[in-house]
Structure 1
Amino acid sequence: MIDHAHDLAAVQNATDRLLSAVAALDNAAVARPSRLPGWTVGHVLSHLARNADALVNVLDGRPMYASAEARDSDIERDAPRPLDVQLEDLRSSHAAFRAQTEVPADWTRTVELRNGVTDTADRVPFRRWAEVELHHVDLGAGYELEDLPEEFTEREIDFLADRFLGSPDVPATRITDGTRAWRTGRQAPQTEVTVQGRPADLLGWLCGRRDGTALELSGGELPKLPPL
């Protein structure tokens, strides 16, 4: 069962860590390349702020973004801003998101995200948690996948394994950290590939942040995953 109140507390903690890390940067860092191809640190920060706005829209029953083009242009527009402006935008957009979550509502209702994807409202806080944690890593500011909360790493592996479950382009795959196990890919009578490794390396592969070379394989090659 999803506990949205628990996840909102986790979003707050993750955002506090992010804000502290951003406050320690300088203006030159905004133009520095991030770990995401083609994006600067400023792009990552502006995306995080605009994503908070977008999730306010989702919870309020409006389209997440006016269009894909508007989403991209807003990020490009905001990316070059000075660090203090970026930081204030992160704070204010987070505050608006939290305010929206405090509006009395049915958390079991269905909401619509991007590209026709739907989910229940109580899963939106976890989606925001994922945005904050993973993009904090993308800043390249000393926060690594190994630093993520254990609960988050396990749940995000579970989320991504489920996302690729049934994908015809991914062989039937067993994922394990030696203690826990997940299944993903095509449905088949037998698992074709087993991928084993540390939780941070498994998550890094699943979310496209690591190439999987640190993982152990049996039964085949490392599956190529669809883009997120």
Structure 2
Amino acid sequence: MTSPAHDAELLKSATERLLDAAAKLDPATLSGPSQLPGWTRGHVLAHLARNADALVNVLAGRPMYAGAEARDGDIERDADRSPEAHLDDLRTTAERLDAAFAEETDASWQRTVELRNGVTDLAASLPFRRWIEIELHHVDLGVGYGLQDLPGSFVDRELENMAKRFSGHPGVPEAIELRVEDGRVLHTGAAPGSTPDGPVIISGNPTALVGWLTGRTTGSGLSARGSLPALPAL
């Protein structure tokens, strides 16, 4: 059984792995392209630092970001910093967020908070949301930490999370049945039974499914009846 406090502890471990990787980056590597189109590795690290600040804002009842332009501008401003500046910013902001998590109580975790674009969720969701950011963007750095290195417990939860995210999504008109090699069956996209020819059945291991659902792969390692559906950008 998970809890936000337990997620915060798992997040600490993931953050330390990321910091260890960031400490090995030189200026040339930082300025090189990440696996996210249009972003260098410096952009990825800058985003992670500013995201930590944004989640502190959310917990304090403030807007997550001043606005989309301010969010993007802050990332551009910070992307070209030195490795030392990136590392210090990442560590300091992570510690600040961890301290904010530690101040939460069983009752306060259950309050509703507002994220970007009017999205709301329980405060209890934030440690896992941050864990997603850390793990997937660590992969996006392209410095030797791949999808296959993601912790199994994280992969299982992110698979369920992504299936839920695309369930009923207007950008996914197909009914999709995800058949996990461990025997689980998850439904996403349009409601089961809503597609005349039946659901698109996609089979594979949890990591391959997560890679596709999060846009980190085009579906390598998966088998499907016909073409894989196009998924909305995250």
Determine if the TM-score, normalized by the shorter chain, exceeds 0.5: yes
Matched residue SS, 1:107: helix
CA shift, 1:2, in A, is 4.9
Q: What's 1:115 paired with?
A: 117
Structure 2 matches for 1:110-189, cutoff 5 A?
A: 110-170=112-172, 171-179=174-182, 180-189=184-193
Matched residue SS, 1:174: strand
Q: Deviations over 1:165-213 (max 9, x none)?
A: 0123421111122222211000132641111112221111100010014
Runs of 4+ in 1 over 4 A off after TM superposition: none
Q: Is the 8 A contact 2:44 2:137 kept in 1?
A: yes
167-176 or 30-39, larger mean C-alpha shift: 167-176
Q: What's 1:20 paired with?
A: 20
1:206 aligned partner, one-letter code: L
Q: Is the 8 A contact 2:193 2:199 kept in 1?
A: no
Structure 2 matches for 1:69-84, cutoff 5 A?
A: 69-84=69-84
| Unmatched 5+ stretches in structure 2 | none
Asked whether 1:223 is paired with 2:229, we answer yes
Asked whether 1:57 is paired with 2:57, we answer yes
Aligned-partner Cα distance in 1 for 2:217–2:103: 38
1:176 aligned partner, one-letter code: R
Pairs aligned (count): 227
Aligned-partner Cα distance in 1 for 2:121–2:28: 39
Matched residue SS, 1:187: coil
Q: Is the 8 A contact 1:27 1:83 kept in 2?
A: yes
Give the alignment partner of residue 214 of structure 2, picking from 190, 199, 207.
Answer: 207
Q: Is the 8 A contact 2:204 2:221 kept in 1?
A: yes
Structure 2 matches for 1:64-103, cutoff 5 A?
A: 64-103=64-103
2:150 aligned partner, one-letter code: L
Aligned-partner Cα distance in 2 for 1:16–1:104: 22
Q: Is the 8 A contact 1:30 1:40 kept in 2?
A: yes
Matched residue SS, 1:63: coil
> For the aligned residues, what is the CA RMSD?
1.2
Q: Deviations over 1:126-150 (max 9, x none)?
A: 0000000000000001000110000
Q: Is the 8 A contact 1:2 1:122 kept in 2?
A: no
Aligned-partner Cα distance in 2 for 1:188–1:43: 39
CA shift, 1:92, in A, is 0.2
Aligned-partner Cα distance in 1 for 2:136–2:38: 17
Q: What's 1:4 paired with?
A: 4
